[in-house]
Structure 1
Amino acid sequence: MHTDSLFQPITSEVRTTRTVSLTFNDQPLNVPAGMSVAAALLMSGIHRFRATPVSESPRAPYCMMGVCFECLVAIDGVPNRQSCLIEVADGMRIHSQEGARDLIYQPMSVHVVEVQS
């Protein structure tokens, strides 16, 4: 049984009629520009963003402000992205995150300064 999404943007907050095209688990979606990935997916009827590592329980956004980490997805091949903090972009490839994912270590360049005594 399909029901309409209960998540709807407040009309006064939708400032543009421009849309962007993206995919979620290889399913094409057109969503309003300027909103977060989490909001766009919820508005599109997506209710399962990830699964927990131990019990594989389904998870979806809870706080919508980056505190709870329930909205983790892989965006353009990068895992552990908080979808509530990232704005949608044209061509974005989003996949649900299944279980635990390793963090991607990206060392920053370090400049060594020699101290003369």
Structure 2
Amino acid sequence: MRLAEGIVLENEKTFGVLKFSALRREVKVVNEEGVVTEEIKERTYDLKSKGQGRMIQVSIPAKAGDKQFDYNTEVELVNPVADTVATATFRGADVDWYIKADDIVLKRLQGNTQQNQKINQDKK
């Protein structure tokens, strides 16, 4: 079975409460000559996941913008997907799982819907 688009995840069931921690790394674009450019391709963030019982890393495209939420702010993922990368080894293959999403946004709690709308408008 091949899952070309990865495995779609349900935020609440998979992650439980997610809290923002920090930017882990930025991946830059490599041009045709193999030179690393200054253009950012994606950013990976550390998030605390109550459902997983540990810190998780989530990558989002650069077009989603740089996320600078306060530490421990509740967030949620937009369209999260789990996928894999396999590396051939002498004994077969090693498989690493990773999580990607379209965006990381403030958790929509009752009462802060207007705050989310204002943040989204400020991005435009």
Q: Normalising by structure 1, report the TM-score.
A: 0.27
Structure with greater strand share of residues? 2
Structure with higher Rg: it is 1
Structure having the larger proportion of residues in helix:
2
Taking structure 2 as the reference length, the TM-score comes to 0.26
